[in-house]
Structure 1
Amino acid sequence: MRIPPLYRHPVWQRFFAGAAVGGCISWLIFLFIFGNIQQKNSTIIERQAIRIKELSGYIQIWEEEYQELNKKNEEMLTIQEIDVKIHNFERYEIRDRQSIFEAEESVKEDLRSLIAKDLTTVYKNKEIIKKTVENKTLNINGKQYRLIVKELYFYTTISLVLEMKLAD
Structure 2
Amino acid sequence: MHIPPYHKKPGWQRFLAGVFFGALISYFVLIFMYATMYERLLEENSNIRSELTEAKNYIKALEEDKQNLDEKSKQPITVESIELEITNAEQLRIDKLLLVQLEDLMKEEIKHIIGQDVNTVYESNQLLEATIENKDFKVDDFIYTFEIKRLLINKKVKISAEAKISN
Same fold at TM > 0.5: yes
CA pair 129-50 structure 1, distance change in 2 beyond 3 A: same
SS in 2 for 1:45: helix
Q: C-alpha root-mean-square deviation of aligned residues, in Å?
A: 3.9
TM value normalised by structure 1 = 0.58
8 A Cα contact 1:148 1:165, kept in partner? no
1:40 match:
39
TM value normalised by structure 2 = 0.58
The 10-residue stretch of structure 1 (110-119 or 42-51) with the greater mean CA deviation from structure 2 = 42-51
2:103 match:
104
Q: How far off its partner does 1:89 sit?
A: 2.0
Equivalent residues in 2 for 1:116-127 (5 A)? 116-123=115-122, 125-126=124-125
CA pair 76-38 structure 1, distance change in 2 beyond 3 A: farther
2:86 match:
86
Deviations 1:102-139 (A, max 9, x none): 43233212211112213454355556544544555556
Q: Distance in 1 between matches of 2:29 and 2:132?
A: 87
1:148 match:
148
Q: Distance in 2 between matches of 1:28 and 1:38?
A: 15
Q: How far off its partner does 1:80 sit?
A: 3.8
| Count of matched residue pairs | 147
Between the aligned residues of both structures, percent identity stands at 19
Deviations 1:23-51 (A, max 9, x none): 99867744541331122221332243244
In structure 2, list runs of 5 or more residues that go unmatched: 1-17
Q: Distance in 2 between matches of 1:46 and 1:76?
A: 48
8 A Cα contact 1:83 1:160, kept in partner? yes
